[in-house]
Structure 1
Amino acid sequence: MAPPRGSQAPLEFGGPLGAAALLVLLPATMFHLLLVAGSESARILALPTSLPGLQALWSPRALLLCVTWLGLQAALYLLPARKVAEGLELKDKSHLRYPINGFQALVLTALLVGLGVSLGLPLGALADMLFPLALAATLIAFIFSLLLYLKALAAPAQDLAPGGSSGNPIYDFFLGRELNPRIGSFDFKYFCELRPGLIGWALINLALLMQEAKLRGSPSLAMCLVNAFQLLYVGDALWHEEAVLTTMDITHDGFGFMLAFGDLAWVPFTYSLQAQFLLHHPQHLGLPLASVICLINAVGYYIFRAANSQKNTFRKNPSDPSVADLETISTATGRQLLVSGWWGMVRHPNYLGDLIMALAWSLPCGVSHLLPYFYPIYFTTLLVHREARDERQCLQKYGRAWHQYCQRVPYRIVPYIY
């Protein structure tokens, strides 16, 4: 039975009007950044002085490449997994099962790309196709989101996301109606969350590095650092793929345009901005400064990985020796809230590590342009908004226990600041 209309979750992102605006603003922002990154001035707040011709903006070949890429990653998703994990309990007390083979997909993709390059595949040519590829990915995201919306119209009420059935088609199309849309055992949201976008991001970075080597004889130290830092991040996410099953994206958000566009287009084409910038605006980076940047990234990665590992270990087995001595607060749901260790310092220590790494990814690009710093600026905004959404959900879920936790851990992301 569907919940009464008055019990619907409060609308987010400004409701239908905000969702309609984001449907336009998100792709427009991505396209603007792609054009600016390749311009001579690289001024993020200025309009490009000249636009490329239609042939440089749209290409059937780019659409074919995107479809082929999605097909390849879907085929790798269907390969036998090293492990099959259960998701969190659903409304009907059941658990969905997920293949844990994302890192396997990354390795096999790398081997296939390496084989292709050795046989003459012009991988660097992708650097000149980013805009048509992004346009094709956006078109795919719109069509995919429409199909997901239509599929969800026939889904049982218990399969809908908490905020995905407002009754407004624009809002529901944006946020996503169905929580776990599947055909058989193929989970669309889980597949898109880490596979095509993250691996595509690493591939685009590599293509930009190869193009720089072709143009200048060898890749710059700055380009190598950006590639290495971001490949580590992608590899870590896929190695610890099971951890995504407890994130807000999987457990709470429906699968609509917001996540489909973010996974398939926004991530690979805006997260690679630093490498795009360096291809067109080379930066000299000496070893002393490079060493400092590496240290900053290492600190961020250590905080990010240690905090996430501690949380995941505690969720799997609170009696594990590494977390058994941590202090907790009991909740009415039966779950425990950590109030010591990393999660006793701030409420989201993993976000702190994420932001430190984001800064390290931009520093190799120098400080003369704002464009390479779009990612840490955007990511700070995203995480602050995400933290606020998480705060509301935890307060609703844990009630008094969450108030006690907030009193014990007053800072949200940055100790003594925020």
Structure 2
Amino acid sequence: METKSRKKPHGENGSTNGSTVPKGLVGSDTATKDNLKMGSDHKVDNSGEFEFGGVWGTGLAMVFFPLLMWYMWVGQVYYDSQFPMLEKGEAIADFVGKVANLAYESAYPTKKAWLVYWGFLTYQGLLYVTLPGVWAKGNPIPHRDNVRLDYFCNAVWSFYFTIATVAILHATQILPITCLVDEFGSFLSVGILSGILVSFIGYFSAIYRGAQHRMTGRFVYDFFMGAELNPRIIDIIDLKMFFEIRLPWFILFFVSCAAAVKQYETLGYVTPQVGFFLLAHWLYTNACCKGEELVVTTWDMTHEKWGYMLIFWNMAGVPLTYCHGVLYLVRHNPSVYQWPIGANVFLYVFLLCAYYVFDTCNSQKNRFRQMEQGTLIVRKTFPQLPWQTLKNPTFIRCKNGGTLLTSGWYGLARKVHYTADFCQLTSLGLVCGFASPLPWFLPTFFIIMILHRAWRDTDRCAKKYGADWEEYKRQVPYLFIPYVI
């Protein structure tokens, strides 16, 4: 962990709000990232392209996912962790009304849940601006004269400081951590409602301030995708970074902690399966924190706007649906999911191997990008794994000024990081078994999402790099698994 000052470094232009990249060093590759033509109004999306099914697809997603989250919780509580289904002879209207009443009964957003949820968000904001960290530079922003914003990275300090705080609150019984599983339904509703509320605030605040970017003029679609590209508070809290790195993964980890503590209080021990979730969620959360400076040059930070898609999913979707596996475990007797020692050992090894690939391949890619730009920061945050940084990497120098990495993990498969991610998430389903479909929601959802994202990425890259992309596919022919597919 670093103890560096929060004082912002001065950029090449002497300003304190980012450095400007000399225009001569920025090729058309930079502009292409925003799907903009040079000279176009950045506030208007003139690409003519609509993602996620356009207005209808995004509109349905905004309605469907909150309802699905309540539906799954009702199944967890009242249907023995099964999906609620129509009973024989039951009218659809009666079934819908019954499920709605059960959701209201088990997931009413209590005052306590509101205070804890927003108290947690506020506390994370406080840690963001008070704890030590390091500064990193993002990618050039074409419509802002290619400025590179400065990002303050101290999530790793915030994570462990929060763990200590939660431990003290639990030990003193001021706020037992077990409330996260005992009152999960209330937190679920607060997360859903908060995600919707913040989405409206973020959207209309951007419109009011004239900060909108790439707008299509179709409200539903623009609301889903977002209006503002780089929302910030007091110039240090980058909201996209804050919501993506800290909120979802911190909450998810603490739900697993709460399940482990609850199981220990109830049974006198923690099962290997609950311990598996605790390890998996710690690994993922810690990875996001220790490599926070690498996130600043990713697609989410560079291109995605801060809209319902990112806000809702980070405030509610990730932390409150990705945990159904551990909720299933803590709500059932261990006899339901006991496995032989050999099976448990295999799953732990499988998880750790998948994590190693996930950690190192993402590090290789993002450190390569930062080395290109001269902004690489090598930190000593735990754990430092072999092969995180490529020495003398090979790559294709593209005609548009960009590069395509052809060594390391990305010399074996173009989307190997997706494969590693999927293996980690699949292990979370396998450790729960097949008695309930709820733990398998995450692997199923992820494979659908990742196939769509892979298609989305491939289509974008084909347009962006042209013939160079075909050469890249020739040199790296495998998409997900080396020498297989």
Give the shorter-chain TM-score range.
Answer: over 0.9
Q: Which residue of 2 aligns with 1:347?
A: 414
Structure 1 residue 398 corresponds to structure 2 residue 451: no
Q: Which residue of 2 aligns with 1:314?
A: 368
Q: For the Cα contact (< 8 Å) 2:249–2:281, is it kept in 1?
A: no
Work out the CA distance in 2 between the residues paired with 1:25 and 1:40: 20
Q: 2:301 aligns with which of 235, 240, 250?
A: 250
Structure 1 residue 25 corresponds to structure 2 residue 76: no
Structure 1 residue 127 corresponds to structure 2 residue 184: no
Work out the CA distance in 2 between the residues paired with 1:79 and 1:395: 43
- Matched letter for residue 274 of structure 2: M
Q: For the Cα contact (< 8 Å) 2:398–2:465, is it kept in 1?
A: yes
Structure 1 residue 288 corresponds to structure 2 residue 342: yes
Moved more, 103-112 or 316-325: 316-325
Q: For the Cα contact (< 8 Å) 2:75–2:84, is it kept in 1?
A: no
- Matched letter for residue 352 of structure 1: T
Q: For the Cα contact (< 8 Å) 1:155–1:178, is it kept in 2?
A: no
Work out the CA distance in 2 between the residues paired with 1:95 and 1:3: 17
Aligned pairs for 1:7-406 (under 5 A) are 7-44=46-83, 46=85, 52=102, 54=104, 56-58=106-108, 59-91=110-142, 92-120=145-173, 121-155=175-209, 160-161=212-213, 164-185=214-235, 186-281=237-332, 282=334, 283-317=337-371, 323-406=390-473
User: Deviation of residue 93 (structure 1)?
Assistant: 1.1
Moved more, 313-322 or 397-406: 313-322
Moved more, 256-265 or 113-122: 113-122
Q: For the Cα contact (< 8 Å) 1:411–1:417, is it kept in 2?
A: yes
Work out the CA distance in 2 between the residues paired with 1:238 and 1:268: 16
- Matched letter for residue 299 of structure 1: C
User: Deviation of residue 286 (structure 1)?
Assistant: 3.3
User: Deviation of residue 127 (structure 1)?
Assistant: 0.9
Moved more, 312-321 or 51-60: 312-321
User: Deviation of residue 85 (structure 1)?
Assistant: 0.8
Work out the CA distance in 1 between the residues paired with 2:239 and 2:172: 33
Q: For the Cα contact (< 8 Å) 2:107–2:188, is it kept in 1?
A: no
Q: What secondary structure does 2:396 align onto?
A: strand
Q: What secondary structure does 1:337 align onto?
A: strand
Residue by residue, what CA displacement relative to the aligned partner does 1:254-298 show, whole Å, maximum 9, x if unpaired?
A: 111111010010111111111101012232133221110011101
Work out the CA distance in 1 between the residues paired with 2:285 and 2:44: 40
Kindly indicate which of the two structures has a greater share of residues assigned to helix: 1
Q: What secondary structure does 1:65 align onto?
A: helix
Q: What secondary structure does 1:89 align onto?
A: strand
Gaps of 5+ in 1: none
Residue by residue, what CA displacement relative to the aligned partner does 1:72-117 show, whole Å, maximum 9, x if unpaired?
A: 1111111243201111111121111111101111001000011111
Moved more, 228-237 or 40-49: 40-49
Q: For the Cα contact (< 8 Å) 1:38–1:276, is it kept in 2?
A: no
Work out the CA distance in 2 between the residues paired with 1:342 and 1:57: 44
Residue by residue, what CA displacement relative to the aligned partner does 1:384-413 show, whole Å, maximum 9, x if unpaired?
A: 111122222222322221121123223322
Q: For the Cα contact (< 8 Å) 1:34–1:269, is it kept in 2?
A: no
Work out the CA distance in 1 between the residues paired with 2:191 and 2:67: 13
Moved more, 211-220 or 164-173: 211-220
Residue by residue, what CA displacement relative to the aligned partner does 1:142-165 show, whole Å, maximum 9, x if unpaired?
A: 111111111221455xx644xx41
Work out the CA distance in 1 between the residues paired with 2:148 and 2:476: 32
Q: TM-score, normalised by structure 1?
A: 0.92
Q: What secondary structure does 2:178 align onto?
A: helix
Work out the CA distance in 2 between the residues paired with 1:21 and 1:79: 40
The 1:53–1:34 alpha-carbon spacing in structure 2 relative to 1, beyond 3 Å, is closer
User: Deviation of residue 5 (structure 1)?
Assistant: 6.0
The 1:4–1:114 alpha-carbon spacing in structure 2 relative to 1, beyond 3 Å, is closer
Identity %: 28
Q: Which residue of 1 aligns with 2:381?
A: none
What is the aligned-residue RMSD (CA, Å)?
Answer: 2.3
User: Deviation of residue 351 (structure 1)?
Assistant: 0.9
Q: For the Cα contact (< 8 Å) 2:230–2:238, is it kept in 1?
A: yes
CA radius of gyration, larger in: 2
Q: For the Cα contact (< 8 Å) 1:77–1:105, is it kept in 2?
A: yes
Q: Size of the alignment, in residue pairs?
A: 414
User: Deviation of residue 340 (structure 1)?
Assistant: 2.8
Moved more, 253-262 or 221-230: 221-230
The 1:53–1:102 alpha-carbon spacing in structure 2 relative to 1, beyond 3 Å, is closer
Gaps of 5+ in 2: 1-39, 87-94, 377-386
Q: What secondary structure does 1:414 align onto?
A: coil
Q: For the Cα contact (< 8 Å) 1:34–1:130, is it kept in 2?
A: no
Q: For the Cα contact (< 8 Å) 2:396–2:472, is it kept in 1?
A: yes
Work out the CA distance in 2 between the residues paired with 1:273 and 1:251: 31
Work out the CA distance in 2 between the residues paired with 1:399 and 1:305: 30
Q: TM-score, normalised by structure 2?
A: 0.80
Residue by residue, what CA displacement relative to the aligned partner does 1:365-395 show, whole Å, maximum 9, x if unpaired?
A: 1233222111111111111111122222222
The 1:4–1:309 alpha-carbon spacing in structure 2 relative to 1, beyond 3 Å, is closer
Q: What secondary structure does 2:404 align onto?
A: strand
